[in-house]
Amino acid sequence: MSARRSKYQTSMQILRNIKDGRSSLADIIESTYLNTKRAKEVIDQLVSQGFLEQDYNERGQLADSYGVTKKGEKTLNEFDKVEALLREHAPEMLQTKQG
């Protein structure tokens, strides 16, 4: 059985993986072990919600490169605080589902 991540966990993992720089779609897929379709769905949602920004290439076209926005950084910091509290007081809430 493999562990399933929630949409929240997947989103936070993507934000954590690219918070200190820019990442390509390929780098995100490699670091999160998501398939291309699932990674693109989560990334698109993070972009539309303002947590990630998509870069443009030299011709002004959208590129498959992303960075975390200030809103994304702030949200990630707040979620890290919540996870620390959960680890201390209710670690079972952070366990992944087996499926």
Q: The domain spanning residue 81 has which CATH number?
A: 1.10.10.10
Judged against a pLDDT cut of 60, whether residue 1 lies above it is answered with no
- What's the chain's average pLDDT? 89
Q: How far is CA 34 from each of CA 11, 30, 59, 71, 84, rounded to the nearest angstrom?
A: 11, 7, 29, 24, 25
Q: How many domains does the chain have?
A: 1
Section 39-59 average pLDDT: 95
Q: pTM of the full predicted structure?
A: 0.81
H or E, element range at 20: none
Does residue 2 have a pLDDT over 70? no
Q: Which domain holds residue 58?
A: 3-98
- Is-contact 62 21, C-beta < 8 A? no
14: closest CA among 86, 85, 68? 68
Q: Provide mean pLDDT across the span 74-90.
A: 92
Q: Residue 44 pLDDT > 80, yes or no?
A: yes
